[in-house]
Structure 1
Amino acid sequence: MSNSLKTKKIAFLATDGFEQVELTKPWEAVKAAGAEVVLVSPKKGKIQGMNHDEKGDRFKVDQCVDSVSAEEFDGLVLPGGVANPDALRMCEDSVSFVRDFFKQHKPVAAICHGLWTLIEADVVRGRRVTSWPSLKTDLKNAGAEWVDEECVCDEGLVTSRNPDDLPAFCKKAIEEFAEGKHANQTA
């Protein structure tokens, strides 16, 4: 086990309908690297994971998004799933929470449909990203340069396409969280 994130605290923002493996694999990797991991949600209690279109496990929320600040964390992970980011982008507290990581130049890792929340936060303009292919047009319309690659990193913003990319996504996210602030990471 590495201790590269020993002093770091990483937020995972999700709600019902997140792709379970896109939360659990990065969670395990970031925790194994020594970080404190915190599940943040607009919802209290438990949230429902999904294994593609089948219900997965339920996960206990650690903190509600309306009671936390990006200042408390060293980085952010946004898992995908279709329903999860669609709900998050309709929640102003969630969108503001995400945007604040960029204002504070902190690393953010988003996978699959998780980038929908980044579009709503208006933080992809001028950035090179990847995602689930159906978000390509949305991202281009939001000013991003979309590419079809396993893992893309642009000034502390780590993005990947799908669960097959998780090994590269987790490795790069940990590297960026360990590095810390990025002067060019802006909202």
Structure 2
Amino acid sequence: MKVAFLVAPEGVEQIELTSPWKAVQDAGGTAHLVSTKPGKVQAFHHLDRGDAFPVDTVVGEVGAPDYDALVLPGGVANPDFLRMDERAVAFVRDFFTSGKPVAAICHAPWTLVEADVLRGRTLTSWPSLRTDVQNAGGSWVDEQVKVCASGPNTLITSRKPDDLKAFCEAFVEEFGKAGGGS
């Protein structure tokens, strides 16, 4: 399975990038870091700078046909930057219209709100996104992980770093069902 991880040049929550990345690799998959700019992305441990990670490719050079699935890590700033980039939003939307699975954790559903792909979906997120999700036509639940298959693809969401183990197990299983198994 070849999985795109879409992140902004700055602001991704490091553990929400590295833990799912490792889960993809442990499942025999390949993870690719996709961003809006080449170079490196600066991760954070909440508000403190973390490590920098090399970008594999930028949006606009790749699309959903190049991958089996998409992971959207959180962090407060990360999805806020992504939702302001039309190419990033189109990249996300492309996975939905292509019927490919998408996993998003914490604040990452902000990008899904911008992509207008939540109508009729049930998902979870960091609690402060509840109203945004509802205003975008989605149903919000407070659960460790939510798998929603109502729509053209499967959407796997989770609330926070404490939920990473369940999140990673759920999306690896769903990505495998979608034909992205190793």
Bin of the TM-score, shorter chain as denominator length: over 0.9
Map 1:61-76 to 2 at 5 A.
61-76=55-70
Alignment correspondent of 1:3? none
Alignment correspondent of 1:14? 7
Alignment correspondent of 1:5? none
Amino acid at match of 1:86: D
Q: Name the TM-score, length of structure 1 as normaliser.
A: 0.92
**Equivalents in 1 of 2:29, 2:114: separation in Å?**
28
Note the residue ranges of structure 2 that are not aligned, 5 or more in a row: none
**Equivalents in 1 of 2:94, 2:34: separation in Å?**
15
Alignment correspondent of 1:173? 171
**Equivalents in 1 of 2:119, 2:158: separation in Å?**
17
Map 1:21-170 to 2 at 5 A.
21-155=15-149, 156-170=154-168
Q: How many residues align?
A: 174
Amino acid at match of 1:13: L
Q: Name the TM-score, length of structure 2 as normaliser.
A: 0.94
State the secondary structure of the residue aligned to 1:106. coil
Between the aligned residues of both structures, percent identity stands at 59
**Equivalents in 2 of 1:69, 1:129: separation in Å?**
24
Offset, 1:43: 1.2
Offset, 1:69: 1.0
**Equivalents in 2 of 1:140, 1:11: separation in Å?**
27
Note the residue ranges of structure 1 that are not aligned, 5 or more in a row: 1-7, 182-187
Amino acid at match of 2:74: G
Offset, 1:164: 0.3
Superposition RMSD in Å: 0.7
**Equivalents in 1 of 2:122, 2:116: separation in Å?**
14
State the secondary structure of the residue aligned to 2:142. coil
State the secondary structure of the residue aligned to 1:90. coil
Q: Deviation digits for residues 96-132 of structure 1, max 9, x if unmatched?
A: 0000100011000000000000000000111000000
Offset, 1:13: 0.2
**Equivalents in 1 of 2:103, 2:63: separation in Å?**
17
State the secondary structure of the residue aligned to 2:107. helix
State the secondary structure of the residue aligned to 2:130. helix
Offset, 1:66: 1.5
Runs of 4+ in 1 over 3 A off after TM superposition: none
